[in-house]
Chain A
Amino acid sequence: MKAVRVCVLRIEGTNCEDEAAQAFASVGASPEKVHLKQLLGQCPSDRRRELDSYDVLMLPGGFSAGDYVRAGAIFAARLKSGLRKELVAFVEAGRPVIGVCNGFQVLVELGLLPAMDGTMAEAPEAALYTNDSGRFECRPTLLRQERRGKGPFTAGIPHGSVVMCPSAHAEGKLMFPRGTRRRTLERLLENDQIVFRYVNPDGEYAGYPWCPNGSIYNIAGICNPAGNVLGMMPHPERVLRRETHPDWTRTPGREEGDGLPLFRSIVESVR
């Protein structure tokens, strides 16, 4: 079996890299935590890494560079200025890229999502804005898988099924530019780009707290039109085992954490 190499990319303030690497390791891949400076060559030569040598790129959650500007903006700017060509090539080669939480924010800032008019947009086409509650929200969220097409992320998560992934963010409300809101949403639907939407335990598209941020159309995660770049606010890497589900002591029968199928799908897609 081919070793699947996963680049778990980090800078200062990225703080979900351990569990992100653990997620890939637990489905048989070979993750490596890589600092951006290692890809940019700003390091001793024995630490140098090439993006092209990986099969999967993961941007984990956290507060990259403190998120003191806009969430993800600084990480995205550093990536864009130093690694633009390599990133575009990676995406165009069809290799999977996943960004979770802050990683999603980075992908949007980069223009890799929603990217409806090409691999990477010049300027951000969407924003992950402050939650409607105005607060950081750490709570369980239920996500319905909405994508009809095939792709590297959802082979193990049937269309219409619901998974539990906790959310933990202050800026997760997906928004589109005023005036193009409806049209953008329509195109996302046409392109089959909506992957996850927040629902309540009855499977309904409910408001707060089930949708923790007020995101348009209850969107929790989207992919690019080609389907190989996924960004999502909730954290699948926090539910690798059943015991990190919030209600696991009252729900017997679950074998594994709801986050695992996503990582398994990714790894199997490139194997």
Chain B
Amino acid sequence: MSLEHLFIKRPVPFHLAEIDLAAATDDELKALSGEMGLSLSLEEMRRVRDHFKGLGRRPTDVELESIAQAWSEHCCYKSSKVILREHIFGIDNGRVLSRGDAGVMEFDDEYGYALRIESHNHPSAIEPYGGAATGIGGIVRDVLCMGAQPVALVDPLFFGPLDLKGKVPAGSKAPKYLVSGVVSGIRDYGNRIGVPTVCGGLFFDESYLGNCLVNVGCVGIVRKRDLRRNAVGGVGDRLILCGGRTGRDGIHGVTFASAELSARSEDESRGAVQLGDPITKEPLIHACLEVNSLGLVSGMKDLGGGGLSCVVGEMALAGGCGAEVDLHRVPLKESGLAPWEVWVSESQERMMLAVPEGNVERVLETFAMWDVDATVIGRVVPGNHVTLEWLGVRVLDLDLDFLTKGPEYCRPCKMEVRSRQTEEVTPKLPDLRTVTLGLLADPNIASKEWVFRMYDHEVRGGTVIKPASGRMNRGGPSDATVIRPLPDRERGLALAVGVNPWFCGADAYRGGMASIDEACRNIVAVGGRPDSFTDCLNFGNPERPERLGELRQAVAGMGDLARYLGLPVPSGNVSLYNETASGAVLPTPTVLGVGIVEDVRRCVTTDLKREGNALYLVGETRREFGGSALYRRFGGRGGEVPAVSPERLRRSMDEMLSAMGEGLIASCHDVSDGGLAIAVAEMCLGGDLGAAVEVGAEWEAFSESNTRWVVEVEPSREGKFVSAMTVPITRLGTVGGRSLRLIAGKGRASLSLRDMRKAWSGTLPRLMG
């Protein structure tokens, strides 16, 4: 279909066209959306057409592109907002300081901490190194624009199996290539900007083959008086664009992220992937924080999805004003860009500052000191319009209400619980030793040391609990990592990821609850009190009712539990359309939980401490195997997905924390993937110490029931511990020897530390080569 006749070129010495929407048929509207890469539906195109009909003029290409950015799923959450509002948005405990690009919570009297997690899935599937690196860049800016110093990075990653038999689907890349590219991208960017990458996760499942998930989280620290809104201060403020130059990289990133990936994505969308430059970012961070702490700035916002087109409108609207921008002043990487390209480009390392006129000079001086570009490109005006000029020609004039009040859908949902539709088939298990070693070596459980040793997790000198706990270079896994963000105080932040995509795939509501439960367990395990969450909701195409049903159920599960615990979710991100021709990814609601540690000197780690100490299980083991590592590895099917009792979780957390406060607990590890046997084995590895442990039935060793921990208690403190706990506890055995002696029902196994370490530590190096 030729659409030429709808484009009316304006007689100006640069590229500018008007689009004759009024003359277009429905088919042509649809074709236009595709041709221009707008990712707008027919209904949305009609709405745009009618708006301009009402104005009595045709939209320019700049305007149409601008609307497409603002109305993309990525920017306006049109499919998910209704659901989020119902379950997540309203939770408050009076400690939320801001819900901006990053959420900000109270840290202590003087400081707040900022948190956010988001996805960079589609770019990473096309170009893993650059996609992951710019994901880090983007999340760091979200924290920075609150006025916060970034202090930690977190990156849960999801790929197809590394030991894949058979071929990858057309258009997607081999998991090993993707893992290597993504990890190097995070390494080279995160290490260079000097923010420690302290925790994350590495998950493998066939559903991620065509569409890997790269979730990136960042936590920052901000003095309350330096906390900024992502808004202009008022009429007269100047808009200063600083950081990187603008180019053709990253055009249509958000509209690309709001559609399914296909075999053609590589060719069509490589230009949508931005290019990162950490050595522009590093001084940009310094300069922004410096001018902010001097009180020279009224508001800041980062340029991410949609580029200038989103940042200008959103900042102006949030400040109750309009804005005028001289677009041709934007510093470019190359000449010859059309105005619409400059306006929507997602080139990296850019921040927008709203600065009162009198402070402009001092702001520019500081940026010059750091050799970072900073340019006044516009000013704040009364009203609610954004206008753009290019060499004196008005190329855009949009009403902010129309632009930013994107569509919102209450799409049909189909609520299914897959675990209820499948008959449970218990797997035929080999002997206890083979099962335990097999689980330890499973890529989803095995040590992630191959990855985290490449990330600088100690820069800034405040990492108190690191990704590995225990003896040097022989550690086991940590539950949460803990940082001391301010060197002069003992208060710390515990960070932990919670997500179990297999639980969610089988029962999204329980899976959503389990995400929160897991994050809480991990935080409590180090001695932190859970304080807030940020979530990255990775799901398939929301236009398919069963996918949206998964989203709704998972979010309901998360929201119900978070609300019961009184823990807010002050920021988050939704990533939909994680789907290819071969299907959607498992529903993956990734939670980054943040806890407050009153005194980091009292933190507890997972490694066993001393021969002769007792081991206890805190919590209750039920026969819940839906989505479990045991069933996945040994061929079970169906089964009940582990449920959460909110009341039990709250009471368990309180009692665990008070026992830790009294120094009753020598080590502690949460029970998750692989169950009790794996939790104890990992504690043995960290301490380089064995243990003798007995449970009543074999299944109890591998159930993944929620709200459980294994704790180590000195004999002299057992009495006090036992009487302090009202939630169920079970004595499992004692610490000692050079092996794990496991008795589970009729099964018996003796696993030497050496064999366990080989299984657990050997997997990733072997698969990654």
Decide if A201 touches B472 in the complex (CB within 8 Å).
yes
Q: Are A15 and B461 in contact (CB under 8 A)?
A: no
B521 within 8 A of A: no
Measured CA separation A61–B282 after assembly (Å)? 13
Q: How many whole Å from A248's CB to the nearest CB in chain B? A: 8
Report if A210 contacts B (CB, 8 A): yes
> How near does chain B come to A223, taking the closest CB pair, in angstroms?
23
Is A70 interfacial (CB 8 A cutoff)? no
A250 within 8 A of B: yes
For A238, the chain B residues whose CB sits under 8 A away are 458-459, 461
Instruction: Specify which chain A residues have a CB less than 8 angstroms from the CB of B472 in the assembled complex.
Output: 140, 142, 164, 201, 246-247
Residue A144 is within 8 A (CB to CB) of chain B in the complex: no
Query: Which residues of A are found within 8 Å of B463, using beta-carbon distances?
Result: 244
Interface centre among B365, B455, B471, B484 (most CB of A within 10 A): B471
Q: Are B458 and A47 in contact (CB under 8 A)?
A: no
Give the residues in chain A near B484, CB-CB below 8 Å: 241, 243
Interchain CA distance A62-B286 in the complex, whole Å: 14
Residue of B with least CB distance to A18:
B460
Bound CA–CA A139/B475 (angstroms) = 11
One of A79-87, A130-138, A183-191 contacting the partner: A130-138
**Is A166 in contact with chain B by the CB < 8 A criterion?**
yes
Q: Is A66 an interface residue (CB 8 A)?
A: yes
Indicate whether A16 sits within 8 Å of B194 (C-beta atoms), given known contacts A135-B454, A138-B457: yes
CA distance A209 to B371 in the complex (A): 39
Q: Using a CB-CB cutoff of 8 Å, which residues 635-652 of chain B contact chain A? A: none
* B residues near A249, Cβ cutoff 8 Å: 469, 603-605, 607, 609, 667
Total number of B residues with any Cβ neighbor in A under 8 Å: 45
Complex Cα gap A209–B450 (Å): 12
Task: Choose from A19, A35, A61, A66 the contact partner of B279 (Cβ within 8 Å).
Answer: A66
A247 to B686, CA, bound (A): 10
Q: Does B456 contact A (CB under 8 A)?
A: yes
A35 touching B369 in the complex, CB below 8 Å, given contacts A140-B473, A246-B466, A247-B470? yes
Name B606's closest neighbour in chain A (CB-CB). A249
Q: What residues of A have a CB within 8 angstroms of the CB of B370 in the complex? A: 12, 35
Interface residues on A, range: 35 or more
CA distance A151 to B457 in the complex (A): 32
Please provide the chain A residues from 37 to 78 with a CB less than 8 Å away from any CB of chain B in the complex. Answer: 37, 43-44, 47, 61-63, 65-66, 68
- Does A106 touch B at the CB level, under 8 Å? no
Instruction: Determine whether the beta carbon of A237 is less than 8 Å from that of B461.
Output: yes
Identify which of A66, A243, A246, A250 contacts B192 (C-beta below 8 A): A66
Main secondary structure of the interface of B (DSSP, over half): loop
Q: For the complex, is A168 an interface residue (Cβ under 8 Å from B)? A: yes
| Interface pair A247/B194, CB less than 8 Å apart | no
B187 within 8 A of A: yes
Shortest distance from the beta carbon of A66 to any chain B beta carbon, whole Å: 4
**B360 interface residue per 8 A CB criterion:** no
B473 near A139 (CB under 8 angstroms)?
A: yes
Q: Min CB distance, A13 to chain B, in Å?
A: 5
Contact A138–B458 (Cβ < 8 Å): yes
* Bound form: Cα–Cα A68–B277 in Å: 11
Given A140-B473, A246-B468, A249-B604, A15 and B453 contact (CB-CB distance below 8 Å): no
Alpha-carbon separation in the docked complex, A68 to B192 (Å): 11
Question: What is the CB-to-nearest-CB distance from B365 to chain A, in angstroms, rounded to a whole number?
Answer: 6
Assess whether A265 is interfacial by the CB under 8 Å rule: no
Q: Mark B444-458, 1 if CB is under 8 A from A, else 0.
A: 000000001111111
Which of chain A's residues has its CB closest to B365's CB?
A: A44
In the complex, what residue of chain B is closest to A257 when comparing beta carbons? B461
Q: How far is the CA of A244 from the CA of B470 in the complex (A)?
A: 13
Q: Are A43 and B369 in contact (CB under 8 A)?
A: yes
In the complex the two chains form, what is the Cα distance from A126 to B120 in whole Å? 41
Residues of A close to B406: CB separation below 8 A:
none
What are 28 A-B contacts with C-beta separation under 8 Å?
Answer: A12-B282, A13-B192, A13-B278, A15-B282, A16-B194, A16-B461, A18-B460, A18-B461, A19-B462, A35-B369, A43-B369, A63-B278, A65-B279, A136-B456, A140-B472, A164-B472, A168-B191, A237-B461, A238-B458, A240-B461, A243-B464, A243-B484, A244-B458, A244-B462, A246-B475, A250-B470, A250-B609, A250-B687
7 closest A-B pairs by beta carbon, nearest first, are A15-B194, A19-B461, A66-B279, A12-B283, A238-B461, A249-B605, A63-B192
